[in-house]
């Protein structure tokens, strides 16, 4: 175990924020993780996965433990399905590609999402009508109190929209070390209706799409709207789409008849925060190196040398303006430190 001192976290967060970690340890096996944790109080710990869902606003005084556990294996296979295990440090998109190459279906709509396998269940990553919970079987996590591995079933995880037990009652208690997925080997359930996937397939003349075709469509749609963190620092959607009552929607429709929404249940609807921010006149808005993306207002970007504090200040300005204009509160999706 090698402890590094005062290193820049810029390469470790997709926003590209240049703050320092006072102490930094990388772990590549479960045993190494356990040994490392024996020497650090839980309250002194800062867990770092793919760094794709965080905004760092200051130097990290706690010890950063970078979870770099690698490996994937087919745990069980029948004629119809495969249970595939991936270690927490596997890159999410590379894992999705591995599944597609093996014709294991279920994750294709989640192509190109930044981040790692181990952090994906925490916020139940989702895109184009699919969430990780749909193919999630279980995960293994290290309990910081006992340093034992425990298993969480799909039910245990209490998944919701960008939400799970790991953001609520289990927050700060566990480190996910691996995830098991239940994937289809045949009769793939293709989800093409959301977000112009159908349109892409039609334009390409694809009538009987494979999971690879869906993945390609998703990659193209994402690349056309969402900035590549390697080129422009960002953390994907900065805000969650707010959930409001149907009464509130009716009230908003009187003034904004074009307002888009998705039905959540009998009483609630979700309104795209990107639309609210665009209507508030902030799409493409820039303050120094902190900005609102030109093509998708839900994404905040770092044009180069923005500090975390500058991005945070911009996000607060957006919240305020959207609140004043619509009477709707939008909350960050990213974790702010």
Q: Which residues are catalytic?
A: 162, 237, 333
278 binds ligand EPU (CB under 6 A): yes
Nearer of residues 85 and 240 to ligand EPU, judged by Cβ = 240
* Sign of the Cα pseudo-torsion (260, 114, 109, 131, in order): negative
> Which residue, among 218, 221, 213, 153, has the nearest Cα to 188 in the 3D structure?
213
Q: Whose Cβ is closer to ligand EPU: residue 92's or residue 128's?
A: 128
Nearest to 198 by CA among 225, 224, 221, 226: 221
Write down the least CB distance from residue 240 to ligand EPU, Å. 5
Helix H or strand E encompassing 7: strand 3-8
Q: How far apart (Å, rounded) are the C-alpha atoms in residues 219 and 289? A: 27
Print the binding letters for residues 173-202 with ligand EPU: x by CB under 6 A, - otherwise. Answer: ----------------------x-------
By beta-carbon proximity to ligand EPU, the closer residue of 45 and 249 is 249
- Compare residues 281 and 327 and give the one whose CB is closer to ligand EPU: 281
242 belongs to the binding site for ligand EPU (CB under 6 A): no
- Binders of ligand EPU in range 112-171 (CB under 6 A): 127-128
Could you give the angle at the alpha carbon of 152 between the alpha carbons of 150 and 153, nearest 5°?
145
Contact region with ligand EPU (CB under 6 A), list: 9-17, 84-92, 144-152, 292-300: 292-300
Taking the C-alpha atoms of residue 112 and residue 244, their distance in angstroms, rounded to an integer, is 29
Residue 115 CB burial class (10 angstroms; 0-12, 13-18, ≥19): buried
Alpha helices (runs of H) in the chain, residue ranges in sequence order = 30-38, 92-101, 197-203, 211-225, 246-255, 273-279, 308-326
User: Considering the complex, what minimum distance in angstroms separates the CB of residue 322 from ligand EPU?
Assistant: 12
Which range of residues in 31-39, 40-48, 269-277, 307-315 is near ligand EPU by CB under 6 A?
A: 269-277
Q: Which residues would be at the binding site for ligand EPU (CB under 6 A)?
A: 127-128, 195, 226, 236-237, 240-241, 260, 272, 274-275, 278, 283, 296-298, 333
């Amino acid at each position: 175990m090698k402890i590094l001192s005062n290193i820049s976290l810029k390469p470790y967060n997709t926003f590209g924020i240049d703050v320092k970690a006072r102490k930094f340890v990388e772990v590549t096996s479960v045993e190494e993780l356990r040994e490392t944790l024996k020497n650090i109080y839980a309250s002194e710990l800062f867990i770092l996965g793919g760094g794709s869902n965080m905004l760092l606003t200051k130097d990290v005084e706690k010890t950063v433990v970078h979870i770099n556990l690698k490996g994937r294996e087919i745990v069980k296979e029948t004629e119809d399905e495969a249970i595939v295990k991936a270690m927490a440090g596997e890159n999410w998109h590379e894992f999705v590609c591995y599944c597609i190459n093996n014709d294991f279906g279920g994750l294709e709509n989640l192509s190109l999402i930044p981040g790692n396998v181990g952090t994906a269940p925490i916020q139940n990553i989702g895109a184009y009508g699919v969430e990780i919970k749909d193919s999630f079987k279980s995960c293994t996590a290290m309990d910081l109190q006992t340093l034992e591995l425990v298993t969480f079933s799909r039910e245990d995880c209490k998944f919701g929209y960008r939400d799970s037990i790991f953001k609520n009652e289990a927050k700060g208690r566990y480190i996910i070390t691996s995830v098991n997925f239940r994937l289809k080997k045949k009769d793939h359930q293709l989800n093409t209706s959301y977000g112009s996937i159908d349109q892409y397939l039609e334009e390409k003349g694809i009538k009987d799409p494979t999971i690879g075709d869906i993945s390609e469509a998703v990659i193209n749609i994402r690349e056309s709207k969402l900035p590549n963190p390697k080129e422009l620092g960002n953390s994907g959607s900065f805000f969650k789409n707010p959930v409001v009552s149907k009464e509130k929607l009716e009230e908003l429709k009187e003034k904004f008849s074009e307002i888009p929404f998705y039905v959540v249940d009998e009483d609630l609807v979700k309104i795209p925060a990107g639309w609210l921010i665009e209507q508030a006149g902030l799409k493409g808005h820039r303050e120094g190196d902190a900005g609102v993306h030109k093509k998708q207002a839900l994404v905040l970007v770092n044009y180069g040398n923005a500090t975390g504090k500058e991005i945070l200040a911009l996000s607060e300005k957006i919240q305020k303006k959207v609140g004043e204009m619509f009477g709707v509160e939008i909350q960050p999706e990213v974790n702010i430190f």
